[in-house]
Amino acid sequence: MKEKLVVLTGAGISAESGIKTFRDADGLWEGHDVMEVASPEGWHRNKELVLDFYNQRRRQLHEVKPNQGHLMLAELENDFDVHIITQNVDNLHEQAGSTKVLHLHGELLKVRSTKNENYILDWQHDLVIGDVDDKGNQLRPHIVWFGEMVPALDEAVTITKQANYVAVVGTSLQVYPAASLMHYSNPNVPVFYIDPRPASINNLQNPLEVIAMNATEGVPLLREKLLRRE
């Protein structure tokens, strides 16, 4: 039976494929204040702006490709039971071939009803005012905005508790509750932290190895280290 590798990924791994992150420039995301485009208040103020913002992100997603970091994580499924828990809303992990991907913050290629959070549709093209669910309610991006609950969190905690290894890739560890997930792993489980500018991790009981590299360089090194341990 394969050992379970739980990988927590953040914006850094997608940035290497050309997807910009709002942490790049003073809290601006593609030139927008994040609270204007990623909060329920922003949505109620200006639905057209929010829809246009995510339409642009969705179009951009059709133009980018997984990088070596994504591809190597998918390849690790040959040797480990790999579960990816990502803060990213793109589908680059799936494009790379990863089969167990949990999206904490939603998915760009899905939309949902504004009245029924369980009414979720796959969505490849632009979303506009007038696109509605089966009851006539406006559809919205299937994104977890600031101030909203993270529905997948309980599942993420359960997965992390079962890990034999934990890897954290491309995250500043500033976004909660995602940043706290590694603390749910068994204290003797090794944690590998891959980031070119690693943040300090406080109160972690686990053995920690920091790999101060970007994902395209660090994930292949992680694979080497894990295979040596087997």
Residues belonging to the active site: 105
Helices (H), ranges, 76-196: 92-96, 153-161
| Two structure tokens written together for 124 | 């490849």
**Radius of gyration, alpha carbons of the chain:** 18
Reading the block at residue 199, the tokens are 């943040």
Whole-number Å distance between alpha carbons of 87 and 107: 10
How buried is 99 (Cβ within 10 angstroms: 0-12 exposed, 13-18 middle, 19+ buried)?
exposed
Return the exposure string of 219-229: e unless at least 16 CB atoms fall within 10 Å of the residue's CB, then b.
bbebbeebeee
Q: Among candidates 61, 1, 33, 7, which has minimal Cα distance to 194?
A: 7
With contact defined as beta carbons under 8 Å apart, do 11 and 17 qualify? no
Q: Which two tokens stand for residue 161?
A: 């508790």
Give backbone dihedrals phi and psi of 132, rounded to 5 degrees, phi first.
-130, 165
Q: Which two tokens stand for residue 216?
A: 């395209």
